[in-house]
A and B are shown apart, each in its own frame.
Chain A
Amino acid sequence: MARILFITDSDEKEKLVKSAVKGKEFLVSSEEINIEDILKVETPDIVILDCDIQKLDIKSVIKTVKHYPVILILYAGEKPVGKDITNHANLIISKDADKNIISAIIDAGLRTGTSLQKLADSNQELARSLYQLNVLYNTSSQLAGSLDKEELIKIMIEGIDKSLNFDLACVLIFRSPREPVLVINSIYNISDRLLEALKLRAILSYKSIIEDPPVDIKIGNLKIEKAVKHTIKEYDFSVLRFDSMFSKISFNDDFYGFVEIYRSAPFNTEDATCFQTLVRQVSLPIRSASLYQEIKETNRKLEKLERLKSDFISIVSHELRTPLTAIKNAMDIILSGKAGKLSENIEKFVTMGKRNTIRLSGIINDLLDISKIEAGKMDFRFALININPVIEYVKSNLTEMAKEKNLEIKYTPMSKDIEIFADSNRLEQVLTNLVSNAIKFTPDSGKIEISAKVINARDIQYDHCFEEEIKRLRGNYLQVCVEDKGIGIERKDLNHVFDKFAQIENPLSRKVGGSGLGLPIAKQLMEAHNGAIWCDSEISKGSRFYFVIPVANDKNNFDTIKKQMIVKAKSNGTTLAIINITGKGGFIEYLLNTENIINKAFLQNALIEKNNDGKTSITMLMPEGDKPSAEFLKTRILSEADKYESGGNKCDIMYSYEIEGDSHEKNPHS
């Protein structure tokens, strides 16, 4: 029923207006305090103010009334009122208006009031929708930035809280596939009995929405996480009578949990839409987070397994070496004749024993090497070397073995000027492997040829199955080739010869034995040298095994690469740092052998030069290198120099760098 307040002190006017508002609630007052109370407690729809009122100041009454959403009608009196007052009125009743006119004006006022109210309501609703939309937007952008399940749930709850102001929210989620957690957010504390009820309810909901639940959730294994805003009060069972909404967190058929929220004020359709949208928005990131978590977990397990395997191989190999040493020692003593004279047969069989002991220890060494390489624990001693001594050494070492089969090993030494940056022991290992393979697979009285030359990467010829390895090479390389006239390898097997434990099926491979790890090790060693290894072969004609290592002191080659890289950096808008370090007393070599990021950076695109004054300098090209990274490297190198000098060496290092392709660096004024 419409409520009307008439502020007047005239009985006559009161009677007149009262007769005009029949059927509506009608209140009359002439006391300021009363007016305030009525406005506050029973806010009327319309306030009619008598301008002739004596006891009150009209202006102050208007001021009070304006605080409330009412229609103000002025009842004009004897003396005229100024515009400053009439401006505040929605309608005016003229002083001589009769009952019908007053009634019509009040009805008009009521209609205006209703329209205004509607407008205000829809405005408010609009504002609320806008706010919810904003929350949705913020929440979804936050959700997109996280791969952490817990955080995603937190963002979602915050979003729901902001847009819907719940009293209590329960979220069931799985921390790991077997670890269900019930996350409870509430304004006030939760009584123990309510907590039990919420747990039970969550379990029942879980069982009702999932057929064949993969995890049996019980009161005992359901973890609880509570976040309470205020502890001054406690919720009891009455919360369960609040209005509530429920939604699954799922993606396609995958179920990740659910959300249930309670609020004392009822939810409307818009609230439901907002709630569903928020929950739906979290489903996809939760799925990604779950997958990510799974991948991380799998990775962790794999790494652990890999480590276990490496440790296992290394421990077993060490343990095997000890008895093997004892066996070999014993046979050495017998063969030396110091323990007594040997018959021909004893010598023959003990020699056989010894040969196989050596073979076994070779296999153990291979296993150790591969486990070390895979664990990244292989030690390298890089230095500037010429390949000739390495080849000569391997050749002379294997001459004995070749002679047994009446084979000849040929090598024509190459220029001494060509230097490579390599670990000569590891190169010997690779070459020994290639040459002894060649000896094993070449029929008696054959020939094995070793050759070495400098070749540009683009001139390298190879079977396309090695494209992966060769195409990344740039510039000039030292290429070593070991050629045999043996049984050859079938084309389909070519690239598998470098696979671990993959002995190619052929009549000879059984007979010659070996660990099957020699070539995989060689491949890994070559990779550590920034080189490559590959082969080509023709059945029953022979095989050629090649490996390449970057030529170290080829200034022309380096300059060409440098020019290319500068052009590339400038056209791509990136930078290239050219860093030069000079030092004496073997500091550069020390630097290169130090186990840190520096040596990896050095091995690529670097020029090492020995100067006449006993100093060595290295110039390296760092693509995408900028001022901070060059400065960072400088700090690292200076600290290495300190370490080096503390060992009693002098190194006098000089460090300089240029940055190419950085327009700010080059032209500070442009």
Chain B
Amino acid sequence: MKKILIVDDEQDIVESLKFVLEVSGYTCYTAYNGEDGLKLAKELLPDLIILDVMMPKINGYKISRLLKYDNKYKDIPIIMLTARSQTEDKLIGEETGVNEYITKPFELDQIVKKVEEYIGQDKQE
């Protein structure tokens, strides 16, 4: 089963994402702050990471930059979630190597579709 790491300090958002993705057949790991998220990402080597921008301690951009500039992790797709919609945010996202940028509020189906685009549907393998 493909592994997805979800990092967001909003527990409810993490819960619902975890639920729909697990129903779709992925194994989900969760972290509620940037520090744990980064640690888990390095330990687990997940197939995809869903990252929130605004988090205490280490924010999403920082995690993304740290992973994308490291050969060991640079190929892991990152989907960034944010409540903001300013263009400059998107530019920072692109600069730090984020693969996809989704603005809150998002549709759960939208996330599931994006995940499928990047790592395929696990059940078919």
Does A pair with B?
A: yes
Residues on A lying within 8 angstroms of B by beta carbon are: 318, 321-326, 328-330, 332-333, 336, 338-339, 361, 377, 379
Please determine whether A326 and B19 come into contact, CB atoms closer than 8 angstroms.
no
User: CA separation between A318 and B81, bound complex, in Å?
Assistant: 13
Residues of the B chain whose Cβ atoms lie less than 8 Å from the Cβ of A333: 16, 19-20, 108
Residues of the B chain whose Cβ atoms lie less than 8 Å from the Cβ of A332: 16, 107-109
Residue of chain B at shortest CB distance from A357: B105
The 20 sampled A-B contact pairs (Cβ below 8 Å) are A321-B83, A322-B10, A322-B13, A322-B104, A323-B12, A324-B105, A325-B106, A326-B12, A326-B13, A326-B16, A328-B105, A329-B13, A329-B16, A329-B108, A330-B16, A333-B108, A336-B20, A338-B19, A339-B19, A379-B87
Partner of A326, one of B10, B87, B107, B109: B10
**Pairs A-B, 8 closest by C-beta atoms:** A329-B16, A326-B12, A325-B105, A318-B83, A338-B23, A325-B104, A321-B83, A379-B87
Please determine whether A321 and B105 come into contact, CB atoms closer than 8 angstroms.
yes
CB distance from A116 to the nearest CB of B (A): 86
CB distance from B102 to the nearest CB of A (A): 11
User: CA separation between A163 and B91, bound complex, in Å?
Assistant: 66
User: CA separation between A324 and B106, bound complex, in Å?
Assistant: 10
The answer to the question of B71 belonging to the interface, with a C-beta cut-off of 8 Å to chain A, is no
User: CA separation between A339 and B105, bound complex, in Å?
Assistant: 21
The answer to the question of B84 belonging to the interface, with a C-beta cut-off of 8 Å to chain A, is yes
Residues of the A chain whose Cβ atoms lie less than 8 Å from the Cβ of B20: 333, 336, 338
Q: Mark B3-32, 1 if CB is under 8 A from A, else 0.
A: 000000010110011011001000000000
User: CA separation between A336 and B108, bound complex, in Å?
Assistant: 10
Sample of 10 more A-B contacts, CB < 8 Å, known A326-B12, A326-B13, A338-B23: A329-B12, A329-B13, A330-B16, A332-B107, A332-B109, A333-B20, A336-B20, A338-B19, A338-B20, A379-B87
Residues of the A chain whose Cβ atoms lie less than 8 Å from the Cβ of B124: none
User: CA separation between A329 and B13, bound complex, in Å?
Assistant: 8
User: CA separation between A329 and B14, bound complex, in Å?
Assistant: 10
Q: Mark B98-112, 1 if CB is under 8 A from A, else 0.
A: 000000111111000
Partner of B12, one of A321, A330, A336, A361: A330
CB distance from B13 to the nearest CB of A (A): 5
CB distance from A425 to the nearest CB of B (A): 11
User: CA separation between A329 and B111, bound complex, in Å?
Assistant: 11
Residue of chain A at shortest CB distance from B9: A322
CB distance from B101 to the nearest CB of A (A): 14
Please determine whether B86 and A325 come into contact, CB atoms closer than 8 angstroms.
no
User: CA separation between A377 and B87, bound complex, in Å?
Assistant: 10
User: CA separation between A336 and B20, bound complex, in Å?
Assistant: 10
Residue of chain B at shortest CB distance from A593: B87
User: CA separation between A113 and B87, bound complex, in Å?
Assistant: 93
Partner of B104, one of A321, A330, A377: A321
Residues of the B chain whose Cβ atoms lie less than 8 Å from the Cβ of A318: 83-84
User: Which chain B residues (34-79) contact chain A, with CB distance < 8 Å?
Assistant: none
User: CA separation between A321 and B83, bound complex, in Å?
Assistant: 7
CB distance from B21 to the nearest CB of A (A): 11
Residues of the B chain whose Cβ atoms lie less than 8 Å from the Cβ of A328: 105
Please determine whether A325 and B19 come into contact, CB atoms closer than 8 angstroms.
no
Residue of chain B at shortest CB distance from A332: B108
User: CA separation between A339 and B23, bound complex, in Å?
Assistant: 9
A323, A325, A339: most-surrounded residue (chain B CB, <10 A)? A325
User: CA separation between A361 and B104, bound complex, in Å?
Assistant: 10
Residues of the A chain whose Cβ atoms lie less than 8 Å from the Cβ of B107: 332
Residue of chain B at shortest CB distance from A377: B86
Residues of the B chain whose Cβ atoms lie less than 8 Å from the Cβ of A323: 12
Partner of A361, one of B13, B84, B105: B105
User: CA separation between A322 and B10, bound complex, in Å?
Assistant: 8
Please determine whether B86 and A379 come into contact, CB atoms closer than 8 angstroms.
yes
Residue of chain B at shortest CB distance from A329: B16
User: CA separation between A333 and B23, bound complex, in Å?
Assistant: 10
CB distance from A315 to the nearest CB of B (A): 10
User: CA separation between A325 and B16, bound complex, in Å?
Assistant: 10
Please determine whether A325 and B13 come into contact, CB atoms closer than 8 angstroms.
yes
Please determine whether A322 and B108 come into contact, CB atoms closer than 8 angstroms.
no
User: CA separation between A325 and B110, bound complex, in Å?
Assistant: 13
Residue of chain B at shortest CB distance from A330: B16
CB distance from A47 to the nearest CB of B (A): 94
User: CA separation between A14 and B16, bound complex, in Å?
Assistant: 132
Residues of the A chain whose Cβ atoms lie less than 8 Å from the Cβ of B104: 321-322, 325
B13, B20, B105, B107: most-surrounded residue (chain A CB, <10 A)? B105
User: CA separation between A322 and B19, bound complex, in Å?
Assistant: 18
CB distance from B115 to the nearest CB of A (A): 15
CB distance from A405 to the nearest CB of B (A): 25
Residues of the A chain whose Cβ atoms lie less than 8 Å from the Cβ of B10: 322, 326
Residue of chain B at shortest CB distance from A361: B105
CB distance from A154 to the nearest CB of B (A): 46
User: CA separation between A324 and B13, bound complex, in Å?
Assistant: 10
User: CA separation between A379 and B86, bound complex, in Å?
Assistant: 8
Residues of the A chain whose Cβ atoms lie less than 8 Å from the Cβ of B84: 318
CB distance from B45 to the nearest CB of A (A): 27
Residue of chain B at shortest CB distance from A320: B83
Residue of chain A at shortest CB distance from B8: A322
Residue of chain A at shortest CB distance from B23: A338
User: CA separation between A318 and B52, bound complex, in Å?
Assistant: 14
User: CA separation between A198 and B86, bound complex, in Å?
Assistant: 60
Residues of the A chain whose Cβ atoms lie less than 8 Å from the Cβ of B108: 329, 332-333, 336
Residue of chain A at shortest CB distance from B16: A329
User: CA separation between A336 and B112, bound complex, in Å?
Assistant: 13
CB distance from A372 to the nearest CB of B (A): 9
Residue of chain B at shortest CB distance from A323: B12
Residue of chain A at shortest CB distance from B103: A321
User: CA separation between A440 and B82, bound complex, in Å?
Assistant: 32
Residue of chain A at shortest CB distance from B81: A325
User: CA separation between A325 and B11, bound complex, in Å?
Assistant: 12
User: CA separation between A339 and B108, bound complex, in Å?
Assistant: 14
Residues of the A chain whose Cβ atoms lie less than 8 Å from the Cβ of B109: 332
CB distance from B116 to the nearest CB of A (A): 16
User: CA separation between A324 and B20, bound complex, in Å?
Assistant: 18
Residues of the B chain whose Cβ atoms lie less than 8 Å from the Cβ of A338: 19-20, 23
CB distance from A111 to the nearest CB of B (A): 94
B10, B104, B109: most-surrounded residue (chain A CB, <10 A)? B104
A336, A361, A377: most-surrounded residue (chain B CB, <10 A)? A336
Residues of the A chain whose Cβ atoms lie less than 8 Å from the Cβ of B106: 325
Residue of chain A at shortest CB distance from B17: A329
User: CA separation between A328 and B20, bound complex, in Å?
Assistant: 13
Residue of chain A at shortest CB distance from B105: A325
User: CA separation between A328 and B105, bound complex, in Å?
Assistant: 8
CB distance from B120 to the nearest CB of A (A): 20
User: CA separation between A377 and B105, bound complex, in Å?
Assistant: 20
User: CA separation between A329 and B23, bound complex, in Å?
Assistant: 14
User: CA separation between A593 and B103, bound complex, in Å?
Assistant: 22
Residues of the B chain whose Cβ atoms lie less than 8 Å from the Cβ of A324: 105
